[in-house]
DNA sequence: TAAGCAGGCTAACAGCCGTTAGGAAGCACG
DNA sequence: CGTGCTTCCTAACGGCTGTTAGCCTGCTTA
């Protein structure tokens, strides 16, 4: 029983450094030579660890997608709980993923369009499925009389939009802890959704 | 008394086409040769009209900033009106700018970081000022007892986040007219802010 | 008719791009 | 010792980058 060390620690380090650069400069504007320099390497050396530049982006985007789905699944595991509770937990799970790695989150949110097909299409399908999961949860809440909104799809988009702006301003050293942020966001968003709020 | 034609129509056309490409592929991933091809030109010919690639981005970003400020100023012109009314009008003005040119809006929101200094810093200062204007309006509403929120800055960020996600999904040919979108967004956001909503 | 200018062309510039080939250290393990 | 693996190097590849210089055409206006 031990904390499993990464199979290829250097590769993981490349991913982390690349993610930070992709976030700061954008995928297209980040060169392999910049990435290598940031790691204290020559550009060619990177290719002992990775297959291509896009492969890094692919791993970041799809890895984070998996985290989001896992968080949502855990939050809605007890389907008999009040929908408002499930939604609050889903919001908190989403915020937890966003704050635990805000650089990767920013890349996930903005740089996916530099994926080439078919990865790009697969990514968008995943994103749609995730949005649909929130939409259906809200719809379930409306049907149960726990939530109210004139437009379920609209409400889901607005909710995710509010959450996804977080990586743009969140700083780990800021005065608000992730849990506190998640709580306030859920409060503010739900008070606009909750019936007789 | 006539509708003033652009001083240099070709230049305006370059800006529009570039904006669409910047939005679709990103600034860094859009080449001058791609842009020229989209306009039926050779790359070198562009430089009869513009000084540089970044000049286009500069014009788009700062032009839109001006539109946002003008909209906000018009919405809050009557400072004696209820703050909730002013805020609703400011939201509607913001949405009107976003929907009237969603490509330029997307560039404004995501591609500004490819501006080099000092333009980048100037842009961020403008954006901060705009956010502050919303923050102060909300604070005024809280002081007047018209609005409620535990955290004014938080509320302003969430509000703008919800609005700024719009260019990501808005389609001019969609079933919702811009005014209807603005109305629903304002409704959903205010019902979460308004006291005893 | 002459002058000027807007708008376009071709060709080329220096430099950066992602990626590959081939080799050489250092280390672990039989 | 020898094998194999990880990690890094140098050098180079073809191709694309933003931008410039110089030239030509055709319209507008005096």
pLDDT per residue as tens digits for the range B117-162: 999 999 999 999 999 999 999 999 989 888 888 888 888 988 898 8
Among A26, A151, A188, the residue with its CB nearest the CB of B155 is: A188
Q: What does the CA dihedral B99, B103, B107, B110 come to, rounded to 10 degrees?
A: 70
A46 CA vs D9 C1’ separation (Å): 11
A135 CA vs C22 C1’ separation (Å): 55
Using a cut of 0.75, tell me whether the model's pTM lies above it. Answer: yes
- The answer to whether residue B193 scores a pLDDT higher than 70 is no
Classify A30 as helix, strand or coil.
coil
- pLDDT at residue A70, as a whole number: 97
- pLDDT at residue B73, as a whole number: 97
Percent of chain B, pLDDT > 70?
93
CB contact under 8 A, B158 and A110: no
Ranges of chain A with pLDDT below 50: 1-4, 195-197
- pLDDT at residue A2, as a whole number: 39
Binned at pLDDT 50, 70 and 90, residue B192 comes out as low
Q: Please spell the DSSP secondary structure of A31-60, one letter per residue.
A: -HHHHHHHHTS-GGGGGGT-S-HHHHHHHH
- pLDDT at residue A11, as a whole number: 87
Q: Which positions of strand C lie within 7 Å of protein CB atoms? A: 6-12, 16-22
Binned at pLDDT 50, 70 and 90, residue B47 comes out as very high
CB contact under 8 A, A191 and B192: yes
- The answer to whether residue B194 scores a pLDDT higher than 80 is no
- pLDDT at residue A184, as a whole number: 86
Nucleotide minimizing C1' to CA distance for residue A46: D8
Give the chain B residue whose CA is nearest to the CA of A194: B192
- pLDDT at residue A44, as a whole number: 87
Q: What stretch of H or E contains A122? A: helix A119-143
B33 CA vs D16 C1’ separation (Å): 10
The answer to whether the Cα torsion of B9, B12, B18, B19 is positive or negative is: negative
- pLDDT at residue B191, as a whole number: 76
- Between the alpha carbon of residue A84 and those of residues A77, A183, A192, B191, the distances in Å are 14, 13, 12, 17
Whole-number average pLDDT of chain B: 90
- The answer to whether residue B38 scores a pLDDT higher than 80 is yes
- pLDDT at residue A146, as a whole number: 87
- pLDDT at residue B74, as a whole number: 96
Interface probe, candidates A23, A25, A91, A161, chain B, greatest B C-beta count within 10 A: A161
Of the two residues B17 and B168, the one the predictor is more confident about is B17
Tell which B residues from 42 to 101 touch A, by Cβ distance under 8 Å. Answer: none
- pLDDT at residue A27, as a whole number: 97
- pLDDT at residue B190, as a whole number: 79
- pLDDT at residue A176, as a whole number: 85
- pLDDT at residue B196, as a whole number: 44
- The answer to whether residue B3 scores a pLDDT higher than 70 is no
Binned at pLDDT 50, 70 and 90, residue B6 comes out as low
Q: Which of B71, B50, B60 is CA-nearest to residue B21?
A: B60
């Amino acid at each position: 029983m031990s904390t499993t060390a990464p199979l290829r620690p250097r590769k993981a380090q490349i991913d982390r450094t690349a993610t930070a650069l992709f976030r700061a400069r954008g995928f297209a504007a980040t060169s392999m030579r910049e990435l290598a320099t940031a790691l204290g390497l020559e550009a060619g050396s990177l290719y002992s660890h990775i297959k291509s530049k896009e492969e890094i982006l692919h791993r970041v985007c799809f890895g984070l997608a998996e985290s989001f789905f896992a968080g949502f699944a855990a939050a809605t595991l007890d389907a008999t709980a009040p929908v408002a509770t499930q939604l609050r937990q889903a919001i908190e799970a989403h915020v937890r993923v966003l704050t635990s790695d805000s650089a990767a989150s920013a890349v996930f949110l903005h740089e996916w369009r530099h994926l080439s097909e078919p990865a790009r299409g697969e990514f968008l399908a995943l994103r749609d499925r995730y949005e649909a999961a929130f939409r259906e949860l809200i719809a379930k809440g409306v049907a149960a009389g726990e939530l109210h909104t004139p437009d379920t799809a609209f409400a889901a988009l607005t909710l995710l939009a509010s959450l996804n702006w977080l990586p743009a301003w969140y700083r780990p050293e800021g005065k608000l802890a992730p849990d506190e942020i998640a709580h306030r966001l859920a409060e503010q968003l739900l008070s606009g959704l909750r019936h007789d709020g």
